[in-house]
Every structure is written in structure tokens, then in C-alpha cells.
Amino acid sequence: MSLLHLLALSPFLLAAGLPLLGRAAPRLHRGWFAAALSAILFAALLGYSSNVRSGSSVTESFAWIPSLGISFTLYLDGLSLLFALLITGMGVLVAIYSIAYMNDASESLTRFYVLLLIFMGAMLGLVMSDNLLTLYGFWELTSITSFLLIGYNHHKHRSRYGALKSLLITMTGGLGLLTGFVLLYVMSGTYQIRELMDAGGTLVSHPLFVPAVLLILLGAFTKSAQYPFHIWLPDAMEAPTPVSAYLHSATMVKAGLYLVARLSPVFAGTAEWFWFVSLGGLITLIYGSVAAVKQTDLKGILAYSTISQLGLIMCLLGLSSLSVAFAGEESLLYAAAGTAALFHLLNHAVFKGSLFMIAGIVDHETGTRDVRKLGGLAQVMPIAFTISLFGALSMAGLPPFGGFISKEMFLEAVLEPLHAGVFRLETWAALFPIVAWIASVFTFVYSALLVVRTFLGPRKPALERKKVHDAPPLMTLPPALLAVLALILGLFPGLVSYSLIRPAAEAMMSHIPASGERLPGSIKLWHGWTPALGMTIGVVAAGIPLVLTARRWMKLYAWIPRRMSINRFYDASLLFFERITVRITSLYMNGSSRSYIKYILGFMMLVAGFILFNATDVTFRVGAYAVIAPYEWFIMLGLAAASLAVPFAKSRPVAIILTGTVGYLMTLMFVFLRAPDLALTQMVVESISVTLYLLCFYHLPKLRTESQAVRFRLPNFLVAVAVGVLMTLIALAVLGTNPFDPVSDYYVRESYESAGGKNIVNVILVDFRGFDTMLEIMVLGVASLGIYNMIKLRRKATDIGSRHVSHEGEDADEEAAQTRKSLYGYDGPRWRSDDAAEDPERAEKLKIQESPELPGAESGDSSPDKSETPPNSHAEGGDRDA
């Protein structure tokens, strides 16, 4: 356990202690704890930077599951450090921002910060893991925390929908990733990333190479919202804005990029890797930028813009892999794309973070995020306007902001493949600059529209009546800092280029010969009159007329057939699977316990019988038993009599007591066989389960006496006889066959020596197989919660419906839509805010909300825009009492 481990795991520790800390200091906002920890982590990680800068990396390892060869190895090189600083740095700002933003009930606030901290810990673990399996574990943990944070306002249907969507898509990718990792292990025999890098060259020719690439990219693409898996990100905007700014723009969605960058040394240099990564990125880039223009929700614009920017970075990562195919100076030319990717990653976090925070501020102050209802805010919110101007300029790639430099580097990088003669690039290379340029134009357009439609133009009458003003300082500070940082990154890129970007680029492209202080590609504001600068000027020249005429050509978007969208496909396939599952499940889950027992016994018979009759050296021991004492005969007879009597019992209590008799007679048997442990356990278990049975049956309706001649059922008879015969055979085989040394010898020998206990059973339970026990009690706990929920929540089923009607008109409406959907087939995702224009009902509703005369309009619960002022008091209180 090293300091580095402690740093990486400290968010988890704080998350565990936060509920207690919160109770100890009830006045202090929980966010301060998160902010303080992030700041400490940021400072501590900065301390490693001088180490990493000089080219050496930090490795700390300890054996986690040594018997499986899994170690928890943390590895901090340039790439990890860049991401770790991003995670903790953004963590500080987001935590501070959220203190002002999240001011609802304290109970759910603790939940929010616990999840945020777990996410931060998972993210840090992800970027520092050297072992693929621990990386995978952290990877899934980020998916789960993201799921829970998107569903933070869990009483809203759209939140639940968005959360489930993100979980399903990222988890599918996650499973692909795990499979890919296992394939990598099959190919190379190691889970350590650094060992994989050393084996990099030899893997390429392996037949499993392409499947592994595809599966790992599936994981990376789903996580980083690449086309066509991007559809979860816009719906994830239901999360509170700090979460959107942190998880869904700055950190979690970049985990896929991290993975691609991290594994580049293993995969780069092959045509498959190059084309999948760069083309996937390119398609996402153009798709995201085009789709962002038509969005009307501020966060929707930012979500699609994030998709697009992630595609840009992904494309750059793909382009940088070309450098492996070349050597010397030429290799450095292509490697510049990698540097651009890393620098843009940083820029994107900075400008997108500030823009998200501004979107939250606008929402907070005006009560809406719909750009059609906003406008002219520049006069009343000058600070927010300035910040968003900085962010948007950086996003559009205009000087003198950081985004300009990385956009220039990107445009240069897409031109490079024109001279590359590999991977069929001679025919297809022109695709890159053309698509990139078009996407840049659209990026310019949506960046401009974002600012123009929110802050310029006439103010809408609905906003006039509200007293809209700039946010409190605490809320303004984080985005302001980020906006200034965007400017600093543009004016003084040298601050980061050698300390952060270069070590990261070297880690990502280890094949580049160490060139001393030289960086592949150059991060400068002024590159001279390059073709890239020409392209940027072209972007502005084409973009400005498009922005001015936006109203006219926006109608074109209506021509895109809605039926073909991937969202429809997602919804339809979900529905399809639900139906199929219901159909399949109802085939065998017919509600009759007798059938279930038949399945269980039949299956057991098949498996055990198959093994028994296929095993070669099974001998059945017949005869030569120990002498059976008379009292043992009595017990056996009693056992048989009690079991046989159970089916004939007329009332339930009698049947239960008869079953109990079997159990207690077994106890007696164990006593005679001198197994006190078993006897004790059996006795206690029997007592409790008999009582439990009695309790359960007490609530059941009275048995109907139904006199019916007992029909002879052949299948039941066969199953019964077969199980009896099989169990007898197994018992005889166990006595007769002894193919292995019994494991008990080991336990007898070792339990006192190495575990210090004389009771072997208990030593096995708590020590030798302690891990099993831990998971078993965990399963027990989950089962008990399941029973609790099943019984307690069943009674509340009636008041859930009324709750929705009384507090959330819209949700009930949507619930109804859901029901309609399941009854009559597909009905479209009615909760998507951009559907409002097409949906007359919804448009009507929006109109109602605009007029402030109606008292209901201000209360906000039913507004599609006020998704973040949750009425959570009634949702929380219901099921907490025990």
C-alpha cells in the first residue's frame, strides 16, 4: 500500500465517511469536502509531475489476488498524469460550482456527493491502473456512478430513461471491453499494460487481433459517445448540470479516448486500427456538429457539441497511429496529430466545462434552457456573457484561445494523410480535410448560435418580468477561471506543452525516438501562413453568412426522416427485447411450484447423471459399511415416515411440522455421527426455517379442499424415480471413488499452524475461504432487501400512482405515454425536448408556461426545462422507515 494507492483510493474513503462527516458538521455544505479532497489530490499529483516530466514514471504495486495473478498496480506516466490532473482539477471547480448549484434537501445531497466522490475515485483508478482487469473494474464503476447520477432526479421519467439508456449502452461496450481484454490475455499471456506494449509487435499477426481491436473499440466508442453509440449522451443531460460538466464533458466520456491512447502502442500501425479509430471519429465529428446546430436546449447543443469534439479527438488519435508506419522525420509529422489530440482534450475540458456551467447558471436564473425562450441576456448577465463568449470562441477555434491552436493542429493533421501512401490512403485521404472543414464550419455555426440566441437579440417578454441577474460569486468563479484558462492556454501554451503534453505524447507514442526537449508537432499561437490557417479563414467566411441566415436554412432539418433515427432503433429494440423476454419467460414461469421443482430436479439429473455416467473411474461401493446401530435404524425409519407423510398432510401447519421433523431427525443423526458443528447448524437453521414457513403460510388463503382422484402422471413419476436412483448412486459413488487426495488433510494440517484455529469448519469459513463467505453474506443481504422490497413496496403500489398525479402532471402524462406505447406499439420518445416543436400538445404546454399569469407555470415541476429543481421531499420520504 503506497502513497499513490492511498491517493487513488482516498475518494472512496471520503465517500464512505461523508454521511458521518455531514452529520458532524450539518451547517457545512457537503460539497466543500469534495472540493477540499480534489484540491489536495490535485496538488499531490502535481508533485509527481516533475518526476514524470523528466521521463521517468512512477509504479506502485501490490498483490491483490496473487493466486490469480491479479495485482493492483498503479502506474503514473505522462498520459495518466494528464488525465489525473484533469479529473482532480475539474473536480475542484465542479465541486465549488455545485455548492452554489445544488441547494436542495440534505439527504439527497449526501447521496450526490458520495456518488461524485466514488466516480472521481473510479476515474483516477481507471487512468492509473496498469492491470487491464482493475482498469475494467474502475471502468464499469464509472458507468454505474454515471447511471446513478443521471438518474439523480429519479422521480422523473426522463431521468430514469436517460440513466437506463446510458447504462445499457456503456455496459454493452463494457462487456465487449472485458472480452477484448481476455482476448488480449489469450494472445499475450498478460494483463499488465506495460508488458502488452512490449509484446505489441507480435500481436498483430495473431488471428484474434482484429476481434480484440473491435471489442476494445466497442468499449471505447460507447463510453466516448462515438457514432452510432452517441445516443445516450444527449439523454444524459437530465443529470444535474455539475454532473454534465464533470462526467459528460470533461472526464468520463474521455475514458474511451484514454483507453485508445493508452493502448495505441499495442495496436497502432495496423490498417484496422487506423481506419476504425479515425473514421469512427470523423463520422462522429461531422454528425455531432451538424446535429448540434438544430438543438434548442442549451445543454442539448453542448451535448452534441461534446459528441462532435470527442469525435475530433478520436480522429486525431487514429491519425497519430500512422506515425508507426513511418520512420524518422516523417513519423514525427504524423505524431503531431497525437499531440494535437492531447492538447485539444485539455482545451475541450476547459471551454466545455465553462460553457456547461454557464448553461446551468442561465437555467438557474431564468428557469429555462430553451434558446427559443432566451435572448438578450447580455445586458443583465454581463459576466456570464463574457465567460460564454470566451468559451464559445475557444470552441469555434478562433484566436487567441486554446481551442484555436488545437483546431489549427487538427486541420494540419487531417492534411497529412494526403501524402501517406499506406492503408489505401492514396484514394481516400481527401475525405479527411473535406469532412473536417465542413464539420468546422458547423462547429463555428453552433458556437455562434449558442451565444447569439442566448445573450444577444431582443429579450423575450417572459424574461422581462423576472429579475434576471448574474449568478452569485461562488457560482461564477469556476466558469470564470476556466474562461481565463482558455485564454491563457491560447496565449501561453508553453505553460503546459512541455510539462504536461510532451510526457503524455511520449507515453502514448512510445515508438517515437526520444527527441530530447522536442515535441512532435508544435503548440504555438502563430504558425505562419499555413494551409490550416487558410482553412480557418474559410470556416469563418462560410460560417458568418450561415449564422446570419440560420432561420431560413434550419427548416432543412425537418426533412431528415425521424423514423430512421438511431434513437428510434434503440427504443424499438428495447421494446422488442422486452416483449421477447416476456414471451420466453412466460413459457416456463407458469407460477406452479411443482413445475419449477420438476425443472430444477430434471436439470440436476441431466448434469449430474451425465457426469456420473461419463466419468471413467467411478466405483460404486456396495457392502462393507460400518455396522448400523439399532437407534440409527429408528432414526432412518422416522425420517422415511415423516417424508412420506408430508404429501398426505391435510393442513399446512402439519406439513411444515412434518418437514421440520425430517430436519430435526437429521440433527439427531449428526449427533450420533459425531458432527457437532453440523448438528448445531442444522438445528438452528431448522428452527428458524420452520418458524419462517409458519409465518409465511399464516398469510396464505385457506386451502380449498378439493377432492380429486390422484391421477398418475408419468413425467412426475419418472423424475421422482430418477432423482431417487441418481442420488443413491451418487452416494454410493462418493463412498467408492477417491480419485483425488481429500482436501480435508490440508485443512486439518494447516488450520492450527497457519490460521491459529482448532475448529476447521470455522477456520475454512472465515479464513481459508473467507472471500466466499464475504460474498455469501453479501448475497444474503441483497436477498433480504429483495424480500423487504417485495413485501413492503407491494402495499404502496396504490399510492405511487396518486403521487405522480398530484405532484408531477407531466410525468404521469409520460407514464401514460409509456403505457400507450406498450399497448399499441411504438409511440415515440415523447419526453425528448426537441420533439416539442413537432408535438402540438407539447407546444401548447410550453406556451402555457410562458405566460406568468398562471400560478402553476412558475412552480416549475411540470416544466421540461426545470429538470433540476426536483421536488424530492415527497419522493424520498416514502420508503425510508423500517
Can you tell me the distance from the alpha carbon of 195 to that of 188, in angstroms, rounded to the nearest whole number? 9
* Residue 698 in the binding site for other proteins (CB under 8 A): yes
Is 631 exposed, middle or buried (CB count within 10 Å of its CB: 0-12, 13-18, 19+)?
exposed
Greatest Cα pair distance, the chain, in angstroms, is 105
Residues 699-718, one symbol each (x = binds other proteins by CB under 8 A, - = not), give x-------------------
C-alpha cell at 419: 501524402
Q: Using alpha carbons, select from 558, 383, 386, 547 the residue that is nearest to residue 474.
A: 383
Q: How many C-beta atoms surround the C-beta of residue 840 within 10 A? A: 9
Q: String of b and e for 567-606 (b: at least 16 CB within 10 Å)?
A: bbebbeeeeeeeeeeeeeeeeeeeeeeeeeebeebeeebe
* Residue 748 in the binding site for other proteins (CB under 8 A): no
253: CB partners within 8 A, 6+ apart: 223, 224, 225, 233, 247, 306, 310
Please identify, using beta-carbon distances, which residue of 465 and 795 lies nearer to other proteins.
Answer: 795
Alpha-carbon Rg for the chain in angstroms: 32
* Residue 859 in the binding site for other proteins (CB under 8 A): no
Taking CB under 8 A as the criterion, the residue among 424, 466, 524, 792 binding other proteins is: 792
Please identify, using beta-carbon distances, which residue of 640 and 692 lies nearer to other proteins.
Answer: 692
Can you tell me the distance from the alpha carbon of 27 to that of 98, in angstroms, rounded to the nearest whole number? 16
- Residues binding other proteins: number (CB under 8 A): 48
* Residue 428 in the binding site for other proteins (CB under 8 A): no
Integer angstrom CA distances of residue 474 from 96, 158, 455: 7, 29, 21
Taking CB under 8 A as the criterion, the residue among 589, 688, 703, 731 binding other proteins is: 688
| Minimum distance from residue 190 beta carbon to other proteins (Å) | 19
Taking CB under 8 A as the criterion, the residue among 771, 797, 824, 855 binding other proteins is: 771
| Minimum distance from residue 484 beta carbon to other proteins (Å) | 41
- Considering only residues 34-63, where is the footprint of other proteins by CB under 8 A? 62-63
* Residue 805 in the binding site for other proteins (CB under 8 A): no
C-alpha cell at 710: 390422484
CA 532 to chain centre: 37
Taking CB under 8 A as the criterion, the residue among 327, 780, 800, 805 binding other proteins is: 780
* Residue 606 in the binding site for other proteins (CB under 8 A): no
Taking CB under 8 A as the criterion, the residue among 21, 40, 64, 144 binding other proteins is: 64
* Residue 651 in the binding site for other proteins (CB under 8 A): no
| Minimum distance from residue 59 beta carbon to other proteins (Å) | 16
The answer to whether the beta carbons of residues 8 and 124 sit under 8 Å apart is yes
* Residue 128 in the binding site for other proteins (CB under 8 A): no
* Only segment of 20-28, 498-506, 752-760, 863-871 that touches other proteins (CB under 8 A): 752-760
Q: What is the DSSP letter of 638?
A: H
* Residue 692 in the binding site for other proteins (CB under 8 A): yes
| Minimum distance from residue 56 beta carbon to other proteins (Å) | 23
CA dihedral over 541, 547, 550, 556, signed as positive or negative: positive
| Minimum distance from residue 794 beta carbon to other proteins (Å) | 9
Taking CB under 8 A as the criterion, the residue among 784, 802, 822, 851 binding other proteins is: 784
Taking CB under 8 A as the criterion, the residue among 613, 788, 819, 878 binding other proteins is: 788
* Residue 671 in the binding site for other proteins (CB under 8 A): no
Taking CB under 8 A as the criterion, the residue among 770, 801, 852, 877 binding other proteins is: 770
- Three-class DSSP labels, 111-139: HHHHHHHHHHHHHHHHHHECEHHHHHHHH
Q: What is the DSSP letter of 825?
A: S
The answer to whether the beta carbons of residues 84 and 43 sit under 8 Å apart is no
Taking CB under 8 A as the criterion, the residue among 607, 684, 725, 854 binding other proteins is: 684
Please identify, using beta-carbon distances, which residue of 196 and 679 lies nearer to other proteins.
Answer: 679
* Residue 793 in the binding site for other proteins (CB under 8 A): no
* Residue 765 in the binding site for other proteins (CB under 8 A): yes
Can you tell me the distance from the alpha carbon of 149 to that of 145, in angstroms, rounded to the nearest whole number? 6
| Minimum distance from residue 8 beta carbon to other proteins (Å) | 12
Partners of residue 58 on adjacent β-strands: 76
* Residue 673 in the binding site for other proteins (CB under 8 A): no
Q: String of b and e for 320-347 (b: at least 16 CB within 10 Å)?
A: bbbbbbbeeeebbbbbbbbbbbbbbbbb
Amino acid at 179: T
* Residue 687 in the binding site for other proteins (CB under 8 A): yes
| Minimum distance from residue 782 beta carbon to other proteins (Å) | 9
Taking CB under 8 A as the criterion, the residue among 755, 817, 837, 848 binding other proteins is: 755
Q: Interface with other proteins by CB under 8 A: which residues?
A: 1, 62-66, 676-677, 680-681, 684-685, 687-688, 691-692, 695-696, 698-699, 755-759, 761-763, 765-767, 770-771, 773-774, 777-778, 780-781, 783-785, 787-788, 791-792, 795, 882
